[in-house]
Amino acid sequence: MKLGDLSVGYVYSLRAALRSLGHDVEPLLQRFRITREMLATPQARISIARFMRLGNAAIGLSGRADIGLLMGEHSQASHLGLAGLTAQCAMNLQQAFATLVRYERLSSQNYRGHSSFDAPALRFYSISPYNAFNLFVVDSALASRARLGQQLTGGAARLEAVHIEFPAPAYAECYEQLFKCPVLFGQEHNQLIWQPASLELALDQAAPATFNHLQSLCDAQLYELGRHRRLRERVEEIVSPRLHRQLPGLSEVARELGMASWTLRRKLQQQEQTRFQDIIDDTRRDLALTYVRDTELALGEIAFLLGFSSPAAFQRAFKRWTAQAPGHFRREQRQVKVEG
């Protein structure tokens, strides 16, 4: 179980943003083992952990803490792959956003959750707790969606407000300059709230026949993704986003999977040779290793995300898993990367 992964298309806007600032991007991409061949490979993915480290390095290279907002300004519908091209051919902006949300998993898979669209609010899921290491992810997600709304309607779409979960950062004045509407920080959700009339705007590239054709291709790809997923992965996807809240029990997870609890228990035993509680324990362990090794999150924040009662309880569990304290494990892993 990992944090998730993203299409290499998400790197395109970061590359364009850095080039617009006059930076040579190739050394940075090479450092993170992102080659030109990889960027041209259909359905190529990079881990979310690597994308976050790449973004953090881009901030260091450019000196721009608002690099995520700049990424949004350089984003294109095509960066979102087949889903983006399909949305481009939709009848109106509402159908375009609904399409992007429906097929989001074709370009990204994140254990923390998925975007949603409840008109007029286009929402990006929470990745709290926030720090300088992950603000750019929310910035780029909201800015790219705002730009898309402008691109698809020839600049006619208008936002009523933007809500952001984290407190106002040092570059807060950049947000209203970009979104051209009130931006409220410390909110319950990360979301763009569109003027209702904007969602009814016909798109400049609306093409019903092409839209239906592309939608059928998206459906086929989505089906293939689901067909090859093991039952264990489907259970992980349900329990992982709720580790820091009230965890669902076996019966609730079974209902979400459309089966009886005894059927789920039997299938896990027969198909995966595991138990429901083992999946929860293994998910916590694997995510703990990823968070400690690949992010800058404080240990207390990691303990919260994984549903531990206290940082001390997390540290005891981590030492049981690895025979090392999490702080020592993090330092050792970073030393290995430096030497490598």
Provide the residue ranges of all domains of the chain, joining segments of one domain with +: 66-222, 231-339
What's the pLDDT score for residue 338?
42
- To the nearest whole number, what is the mean pLDDT of the chain? 91
CA 269, CA 101: separation in Å to the nearest integer?
34
pLDDT tens readout for residues 113-123: 789 999 999 99
% of the chain surpassing 70 pLDDT: 97
Q: Looking at the predicted structure, is the pLDDT value of residue 133 above 90?
A: no
Candidate CATH numbers 1.10.10.10, 3.40.50.920, 1.10.10.60, 3.40.30.10; the one for domain 231-339: 1.10.10.60
What's the pLDDT score for residue 297?
81
How much is the pTM?
A: 0.83
Contact 104, 6 (CB under 8 A): no
Q: Looking at the predicted structure, is the pLDDT value of residue 160 above 90?
A: yes
- 134 pLDDT band (50/70/90 cuts)? confident
pLDDT tens readout for residues 285-319: 988 988 888 777 889 988 988 888 899 999 999 99
Q: Which of 169, 213, 189 is nearest to 69 (CA)?
A: 169
Report the range of poorest mean pLDDT among 127-131, 154-158, 196-200. 127-131
- 72 pLDDT band (50/70/90 cuts)? very high
Residue of 130 and 254 predicted with greater confidence: 254
Q: Which of 293, 296, 300 is nearest to 330 (CA)?
A: 293
What's the pLDDT score for residue 337?
54
- 340 pLDDT band (50/70/90 cuts)? very low
pLDDT tens readout for residues 235-292: 988 888 888 778 889 999 999 999 999 999 999 999 889 999 999 999 889 889 888 8
CA 98, CA 180: separation in Å to the nearest integer?
23
Q: Looking at the predicted structure, is the pLDDT value of residue 339 above 50?
A: no
pLDDT tens readout for residues 12-46: 999 999 999 999 999 999 999 999 999 999 889 99
% of the chain surpassing 90 pLDDT: 70
Q: Looking at the predicted structure, is the pLDDT value of residue 1 above 60?
A: no
- If you average pLDDT over residues 90-106, what whole number do you get? 97
- If you average pLDDT over residues 152-165, what whole number do you get? 97
